[in-house]
């Protein structure tokens, strides 16, 4: 290991640098470029933490036509050692990427954070739980390759332990296989458990405005780094406090990316993620009589039987259908073969419906 490489390891290890990243960077080290991690991006420039400190660099050289390949917070990059302006030359291949669809009519994907190990979905207990929104966040989190964690913030606003326990159970039912933690940043409750979870890698904080993400970030950091604003009492919501995605090293180990509040959370090619969120439905579906069962009115449907038997909430099935339809529309806009398959399925169902109607009319004669 050269002195330069050793210096990079020492300076960048708190930000997640390891031997695998060093191996991936080796060709760029030979060119005299510096390794660094993007801690903030704005207006075509970014802040990159390197062994030489935090550098300001231009991203013009790595701004592709594909919006999913733009430089984003969490990326590991090769940056020029000097120059005015200084440029990021390339991004190392991402291990994970958290992507949502934009609100544009073109339905482009927008990358929110890269190389994330844990996706922390912050949900405020200051307002009624929106289970469907939690499911949506979890679908994107699973699809990213990160391990989701749901954090119920402002737990001090629910003083009754029995009520709090029921709320946690409701979310656990909504989030199979996902840790669900109740936390009060104001009183310090639950922070030790959350800190232990995020200490082993990079975590991204996700949630709506007013969910308490910045307050949670400050509590984990042990100091007021992120600006905090009060939420509205009427609905527990707030204005955007964080306006950029910021990557911060935690004192107890690990890295945290705080993000702006997300009003819209559209799916982006998240079929596998949806499947993991609704794992119990997909498991039940294996016992349906027909392999292509739509779980609507087909005979021998194991999913509908589970609803009738009280084993599966009807709300879960409706949410599952909604997210599948949404994801299918997004994929179809960019995948010609998928569009053809959807049209074929519409025609098949139309033919079945037509045949059923004709049979019904024949029986009435």
Which is nearest to 202 in space by CA: 43, 76, 30?
76
**Whole-number Å distance between alpha carbons of 262 and 157:** 23
- 203, 256 contact by CB (below 8 A): yes
Any idea which residue has 């449907």 for tokens? 301
List of the chain residues with pLDDT < 50: 104-105, 229-243, 338
> What residues contact 326, with CB distance under 8 A and at least 6 apart?
266, 267
How far apart are the C-alpha atoms of 112 and 177, rounded to whole Å?
23
Q: How far lies 63's CA from each of 59, 60, 90, 156, 251, in Å? A: 6, 5, 10, 45, 33
Strands 147-153 and 180-182 turn out to be: parallel
Please state, in angstroms and rounded to a whole number, the distance separating the CA atoms of residues 155 and 159: 8
CB atoms closer than 10 angstroms to residue 352: 10
């Amino acid at each position: 290991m050269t002195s330069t490489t050793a210096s990079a390891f020492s300076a960048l290890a708190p930000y997640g640098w390891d031997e695998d990243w060093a191996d991936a960077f080796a060709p760029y080290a030979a060119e005299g470029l510096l390794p660094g991690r993007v801690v903030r991006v704005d207006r075509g420039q970014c802040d990159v933490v390197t062994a030489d400190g935090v550098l300001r660099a231009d991203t013009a050289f790595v701004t592709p036509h594909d919006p999913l390949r733009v430089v984003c917070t969490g990326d590991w990059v090769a940056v020029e050692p000097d120059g005015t302006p200084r440029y990021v030359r390339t991004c190392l291949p991402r291990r994970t990427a958290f992507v949502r669809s934009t609100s544009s009519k073109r339905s482009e994907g927008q990358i929110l954070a890269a190389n994330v190990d844990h996706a922390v979905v912050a949900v405020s207990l200051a307002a009624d739980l929106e289970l469907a929104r939690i499911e949506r966040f979890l679908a994107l989190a699973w699809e990213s390759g990160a391990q989701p964690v749901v954090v119920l913030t402002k737990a001090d606003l629910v003083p009754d332990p029995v009520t709090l326990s029921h709320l946690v159970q409701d979310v656990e039912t909504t989030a199979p296989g996902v840790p669900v933690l109740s936390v009060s940043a104001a009183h310090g409750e639950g922070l030790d458990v959350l800190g232990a979870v995020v200490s082993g890698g990079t975590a991204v904080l996700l949630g709506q405005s007013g969910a308490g993400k910045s307050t949670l970030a400050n509590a984990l950091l042990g100091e007021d780094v992120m600006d905090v604003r009060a939420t509205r009492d009427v609905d527990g919501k707030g204005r955007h406090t964080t306006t950029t995605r910021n990557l911060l090293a935690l004192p107890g180990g690990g890295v945290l990316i705080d993000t702006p509040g997300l009003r819209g959370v559209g799916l982006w090619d998240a079929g596998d993620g949806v499947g993991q969120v609704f794992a119990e439905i997909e498991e039940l579906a294996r016992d349906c009589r027909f392999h292509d069962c739509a779980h609507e009115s087909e005979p021998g449907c194991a999913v509908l039987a589970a609803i009738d038997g009280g084993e599966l909430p009807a709300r879960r099935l409706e949410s599952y259908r909604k997210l599948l339809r949404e994801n299918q529309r997004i994929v179809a806009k960019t995948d010609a073969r998928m569009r053809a398959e959807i049209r074929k399925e519409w025609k098949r169902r139309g033919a079945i419906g037509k045949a059923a109607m004709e049979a019904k009319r024949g029986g009435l004669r």
